[in-house]
């Protein structure tokens, strides 16, 4: 006993015993058997060094080839069991998810209208989007005049707008099937839409003739007259209800309303706060409506039924004259009976916010 203890004390750093206090002899679940020669039973409590060597030997014991107190076979068994378990669970889970996905219609979402999470308490309310949007975490449109910089800084912006609008210029297989909705009676349109056809929308539709918001003109950015593309969010099955009389129209655009607008969703951009309004001298809206003071999207584009090759209509807002080196807060709103506006700064239902900064 004594000699054993001495040799142990002398050589413990190099030996591979796991040191256990005598008290473990009686453990009900892991009784230490006498014939386990990798375990050294020590009387009294363990020292700090004992613990260190135990940890080392626990992690890797050269003698018994045990890693974390399990040898290869045990690890294989253990790993096998967990692998089988997790594999089965994973297969079951994936299979269920896949089967579920297969059951879903590829074209029509399962949840529509007020049934969907897209609808708030008061029903569906579409938001607006804008381009160019260069940053995901900011809504600023910022560029430098080419005079100052000596080179184009508007490339990214132009690319960003092009990227979004390229679908509108491609004459792909879907283009062949598109219909000119302006000439088709409204009650027939829905049947075409259900067949997967969608309305034509050309870049030229926005403004016949020379368009200040076009690629050759760098969308007005190099001249300090930025064009911002405003679009209404696609919402499956949503049908707009435009204002039918001047009385219903919100006060801010009432003076602009004309009966021709009965078939249009109106879109208007303006400075968000009074200071912004003072610094924005003129905003031109370029749209099918053909009215510079306010933009409009014809209602025959709706409802959107996820038709292949659907071309989303849009409106240009060109800021003809703005103050440079000032951050301008712009808000664009869509107007229709069934578009509500919120006063909450963060709630962009029926509106979109962005900033313009021209150096």
Does residue 33 interact with other proteins by CB under 8 A? no
Q: Which of 304, 253, 310, 262 is nearest to 283 (CA)?
A: 253
Does residue 83 interact with other proteins by CB under 8 A? no
Does residue 87 interact with other proteins by CB under 8 A? no
Does residue 73 interact with other proteins by CB under 8 A? no
Does residue 224 interact with other proteins by CB under 8 A? no
Does residue 51 interact with other proteins by CB under 8 A? no
CB of 254 closer than 8 Å to CB of 345: no
Question: What six digits make up the tokens of 333?
Answer: 């709103």
Q: Which of 115, 354, 350 is nearest to 233 (CA)?
A: 350
Does residue 338 interact with other proteins by CB under 8 A? no
CB of 246 closer than 8 Å to CB of 254: yes
Question: What six digits make up the tokens of 24?
Answer: 């473990």
CB of 296 closer than 8 Å to CB of 315: yes
Does residue 233 interact with other proteins by CB under 8 A? yes
Residue 97 CB, nearest approach to other proteins (Å): 6
Q: Which of residues 305-334 bind other proteins (CB under 8 A)?
A: 306, 310
- Which C-beta is closer to other proteins: that of 130 or that of 219? 130
Residue 178 CB, nearest approach to other proteins (Å): 16
Q: Which helix (H) or strand (E) holds 228?
A: strand 227-232
- Which C-beta is closer to other proteins: that of 2 or that of 183? 2
Does residue 340 interact with other proteins by CB under 8 A? no
Q: Which of 351, 318, 294, 341 is nearest to 141 (CA)?
A: 318
Question: What six digits make up the tokens of 327?
Answer: 């951050």
Helix, strand, or coil here: 280? strand
Query: Contacts with other proteins: how many residues (CB under 8 A)?
Result: 61
Does residue 166 interact with other proteins by CB under 8 A? no
- Which C-beta is closer to other proteins: that of 26 or that of 151? 26
């Amino acid at each position: 006993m004594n000699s054993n203890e001495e040799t142990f004390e002398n050589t413990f750093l190099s030996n591979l015993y796991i040191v256990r206090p005598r008290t473990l002899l009686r453990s009900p679940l892991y009784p230490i058997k006498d014939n386990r020669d990798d375990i050294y039973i020590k009387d009294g409590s363990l020292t700090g060094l004992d613990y260190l060597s135990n940890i080392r030997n626990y992690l890797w014991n050269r003698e018994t080839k045990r890693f974390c107190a399990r040898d290869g076979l045990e690890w294989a068994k253990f790993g096998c069991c967990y692998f089988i378990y997790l594999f089965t669970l994973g297969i079951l889970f994936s299979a269920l998810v896949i089967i579920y996905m297969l059951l879903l219609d590829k074209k029509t979402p399962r949840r529509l209208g007020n049934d969907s999470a897209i609808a708030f308490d008061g029903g569906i309310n579409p938001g607006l989007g804008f381009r160019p949007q260069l940053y995901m975490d900011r809504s600023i449109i910022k560029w430098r005049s080419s005079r100052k910089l000596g080179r184009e800084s508007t490339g990214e912006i132009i690319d960003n707008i092009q990227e979004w609008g390229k679908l509108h210029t491609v004459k792909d297989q879907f283009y062949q099937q598109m219909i000119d909705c302006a000439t088709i009676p409204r009650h027939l349109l829905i049947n075409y839409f259900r067949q997967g056809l969608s309305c034509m929308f050309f870049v030229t539709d926005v403004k016949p003739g020379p368009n200040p918001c076009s690629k050759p003109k760098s969308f007005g950015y190099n001249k300090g007259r930025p064009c911002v593309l405003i679009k209404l969010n696609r919402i499956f099955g949503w049908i707009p209800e435009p204002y039918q009389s001047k009385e219903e129209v919100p006060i801010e655009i009432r003076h602009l309303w004309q009966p021709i607008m009965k078939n249009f969703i109106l879109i208007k951009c303006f400075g968000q706060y009074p200071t912004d309004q003072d610094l924005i001298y003129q905003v031109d809206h370029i749209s099918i409506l053909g009215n510079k003071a306010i933009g409009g999207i014809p209602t025959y584009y709706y409802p959107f039924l996820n038709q292949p090759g659907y071309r989303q209509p849009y409106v240009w807002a060109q800021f003809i004259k703005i103050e440079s080196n000032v951050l301008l807060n712009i808000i664009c709103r869509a107007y229709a009976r069934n578009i509500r506006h919120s006063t909450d700064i963060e709630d962009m239902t029926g509106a979109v916010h962005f900033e313009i900064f021209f150096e």
